[in-house]
Structures are given as C-alpha cells and as structure tokens.
Structure 1
Amino acid sequence: MTLTNEFFQQLESLFPKAADSPWYVYAALVFQANDRMELISSTWRYVQSTTSKAEDQIVKARKMREALLKASVLVGFPKGINACTTLRKALLADSPEIESELDKDSSLRQHLSRSEKDARGMDFFSKIYAQHTDRVLQNMSVASGGDLSEFAINAVYGDLMAEESRLNAKETGLLEFLACYATGGSVWAQAKGHMYGSHNLGNGKAEIQGAVKICDTIEETLDIKVNRAPAENWSWLAKAEKW
C-alpha cells in the first residue's frame, strides 16, 4: 500500500506542533509494531521532503533510528533489526550523503560500565514508576527468580532507554507507552503503567492523545485489527483528558 503525502500530513497534524516535533518516530513505531516495514521508508521520505536543512535531516534520521532501536525491546527484537535495516536502505537509496554520516556513528552504549548501567537504569526506571518503583521491581523479581528486574534495570533501562542524547526521556517515555498501546491484547496493564510513566516524564494530554490518534489513524487506514477488548481494560485512557 502506498501512503500519500496528505496522509503523512494528517499524522503530523495530530501531534502538538513544534519545530522539533517527533511525530514521525511514533508513526514509524506503529509501522514497526505491525510489521509494515516498507512504510518506515515512506515515513522517512516524507520527513526528508519536508525538512529543508541537511543538518536537520541528519538529526531526524538519528532520532528515528534510535526510536526503532528502543522500540525493539517492546515490540520484538527481530522487528527492531528489520526496522533499522529498512531505514538504512531507504537512506542509502534516497539520502546517501546522510547515511554516509550515520555510518560514521559508533555505539552510544559500548563504553558503559556495569555500575553506570545500574545507576542510570534505576534512575530512569524510578522517574517512570515514581512511588510504585519498588512494587513493580518486586513483582518482576518474584515472577522470574530475580532475572526480570535485573534485566530491566541493567539492560532495558540502564543500557537502552536511559540514553537521552538522541531521544530524550520525555520522547522515550511516550514511545514506551505507544509501543504497548499498539500491541494491545494482554499488555494493557503495561500500557497503563507507561501512560502514567510518560506523564511523569513530562507528557501531557496533547502528546499522549496525539500519539494514540496517530496509532488509531494508521490502524484504520491500513485496516489493522488490534485487540483492545474488553473496553474496561482500557478505560484508564480517559485519565489523560485531565492532564
């Protein structure tokens, strides 16, 4: 399916307007979650066509790549590989000079020590879950012999999510929420936790509802069916109306 510029303009209009609006990372995430990798390429082409300065294009390409990487732990690592590979192929085809710059990048995470990962992971996790932090960690720990909480703090948060140089904490928190919302089904509780977590990281009604509308619009346009039943499992979404 080919999506028009008008469709991407519609998606862009659903998110709060700003010079550095990250709406496109949330659109790309929804395509990634639903295995519509070719539409990640379409998203990049639209972003490039509406971004005049080459240096701004590079910033957005890095931000998009970082979002696909971070989303991989939430929607599936193989999808993360395919999404990042798809973006790189699109850049090579349409923006080789930009991909040449991105190919010079080294890992943002390779020099982190274990203690650094643990410290920044706990800090980021605590900002999301606030007063519920200990309970959430304890629940994960007892469900897994201690490994889920260990993995979450050191790897998911310390290594991956807490890196803020390309996708900041506010943007990352909203990404986590939207990844769970886009998945639907049994992860409604995680979606709920991350909606509140994204609010703790600075997202308000406009950002949360804008991200949801981007997801809903893509699902409707592509006829994607996501299980969000029973409705009472998702009734907490109304809380964002008051933010």
Structure 2
Amino acid sequence: MSANLNPSPEFLSGLRALYHTNTNLSDLSPKENADSPWYMAAAIAFAAANRPNAVPVVFEYALTTVPKEEHALRLQIARKVRDGVFKAGMICGFPRVINALASLHKATPEELKDKETLRDRSMSVEQATKQGQAYFESTYGDTTAKTQSFLWDIFPDLEYYVTSFAYGFGYAHNSATSPIETSYAMISALIATDMPTQIAWHLAGAVRNGATPGEVRGIRNIAMTVSKEVGVVWKDEVPDVKDEGSVLLDH
C-alpha cells in the first residue's frame, strides 16, 4: 500500500476476522462490534507506521458495524480509537499521533467529538505516581522491580516519567480503553515500529492484564498485517506469545 492509498473494505474485513476467528462476523451484535479491539489495533498500527490518512478509514468502517441510532456505542468506538492512538504516542512519537488524530478529527461527526478531557486534570503528581505504580505492577508482574530498576539505571528521569506520567496519567486511565486494550495499543505501536524487546514485554503484559493468548495473538496478527501492507520491514523476528503467556520468537 503506497502512502496515498487507503485500506479497502475487504482488507479491513480481513483484519476484523483475524481477531474474531471461528466467528461469523455478521452474527456479532452492535455491542460486540463496539467492544471489539480490532479496529483500535488497526488504527494504531497505521498511525505508528506514519499512515495517518488510513486512521479515519478504519474508524468509518468500524462505525458501519453499529446502527446510527446507537449513539453510545458509536461514541465508544470514537473514544477507543482516539484514546488508543493517544496512548500509542508514548511509543511511536507524538508527531505521528498528532497527524493521525488530526486526520481522524476531520472525519469524525460532531456528535462523536469530545469537548473536555477524559482524564482528571486536577490529579496531583503524587496521585499519578501511585496510579502509575499500580498499573506498572499489573502489567509487569514479578518483573516490575527489575524493569523499573533498569529504567532508573539508564536515566532516573526516564523511570520517573514512565511511572508517574506515561503510566500514571496516560496508560492507567481506562474510561475509553481498558487495561487489556491499553496493552493492545502498546503491542500494535511496537510492532509497527519494530521494537522486539518491548513487544515481548507487552505480549506478556496483555496476558497479565486479562487477555487470553489467542486474543493477544489476534492483535499481533492485525498489527503485523497492517505493518506489512504499508511496507514495514522488521530487522529481527517479531516475538509471539505462547499459550502459557510467555513469549517466543516468530520463525
């Protein structure tokens, strides 16, 4: 897919099927369609791969799976894409997120746009740090101390920022994207930007946050399919998740 081409409905339907394996897509209810994370993962992979014009195409396709009178479900879709892309910005870079969200904004109906922040702007740094530490622990499990020590060792400011702001203010907020979906957002952005070490971390983190290995693998497949379509080439093998939740390299 060149930079000027957008994904076709057939391509997007194929991505949707990668998550809903062994399911007749026409049997999914409007709520199941809105709850599904496939479109968020696809939008993030496009955004992270610097294809911002594809993001609203994914969004508009997702909207077709929910009747127009189902405002709450359509707003859920809009917020999930926006918040997922925002969270991915701490991985793929905010210039790409700005371009993706700007493109999405133009295509979003007025009634599906937010006028206020989803996050609490009055949250103190202490509150953010506490919230971030809890979310970090839920994601990294028994590797938390080792990972945070590593971040502190290479640059203390990095560990402080990651725990208090990236995790505390950014990732831990879950009104639009759940902890599982937040892990999916990280995985999609990391795959599209060829970061195998961190992909492995967050494949395992998604399972810790409650996803099944099969569901995680569906998100991985979506991100890889989008990335291949737009020309991403991985220098190393892309990690996969084992059924018990650990990771292995894809051969």
Shared topology, TM-score over 0.5?
Answer: yes
Q: Where does the alignment leave 5 or more consecutive residues of structure 1 unmatched?
A: none
Q: Which residue of 2 aligns with 1:3?
A: 7
Contact 1:208 1:240 (8 Å CA) reproduced: no
Q: Residues 129-170 of structure 1, C-alpha deviation per residue, up to 9 Å, x if partnerless?
A: 1111111111111111x1111111111000100001110111
Q: Kindly indicate whether residue 104 of structure 2 is the aligned counterpart of residue 96 of structure 1.
A: no
Q: Kindly indicate whether residue 140 of structure 2 is the aligned counterpart of residue 133 of structure 1.
A: no
Partners of 1:34 and 1:25 lie apart in 2 by 14
Q: Cα RMSD (Å) of the superposition?
A: 1.7
Superposition pairs for residues 112-131 of structure 1, below 5 Å?
Answer: 112-131=123-142
Counterpart amino acid of residue 10 in structure 1? G
Q: Residues 174-200 of structure 1, C-alpha deviation per residue, up to 9 Å, x if partnerless?
A: 22122212211xx21111111111111
Q: Choose which of 155, 169, 174 in structure 2 pairs with 1:159.
A: 169
Q: Choose which of 198, 202, 207 in structure 2 pairs with 1:199.
A: 207
Counterpart amino acid of residue 86 in structure 1? S
Contact 1:204 1:240 (8 Å CA) reproduced: no
Q: Choose which of 170, 176, 192 in structure 1 pairs with 2:180.
A: 170
Q: Which residue of 2 aligns with 1:240?
A: 242
Q: Which residue of 1 aligns with 2:196?
A: 188
Contact 1:125 1:133 (8 Å CA) reproduced: yes
Q: Which residue of 1 aligns with 2:71?
A: 54
Contact 1:71 1:175 (8 Å CA) reproduced: yes
Contact 2:42 2:222 (8 Å CA) reproduced: yes
Partners of 2:111 and 2:148 lie apart in 1 by 44
Task: Report the TM-score, using the length of structure 1 for normalisation.
Answer: 0.88
The structure whose residues are more often helix, as a share, is: 1
Partners of 1:85 and 1:12 lie apart in 2 by 24
Q: Residues 94-117 of structure 1, C-alpha deviation per residue, up to 9 Å, x if partnerless?
A: x23323xx2x33341311111110
Partners of 2:124 and 2:227 lie apart in 1 by 41
Identity score, percent? 25
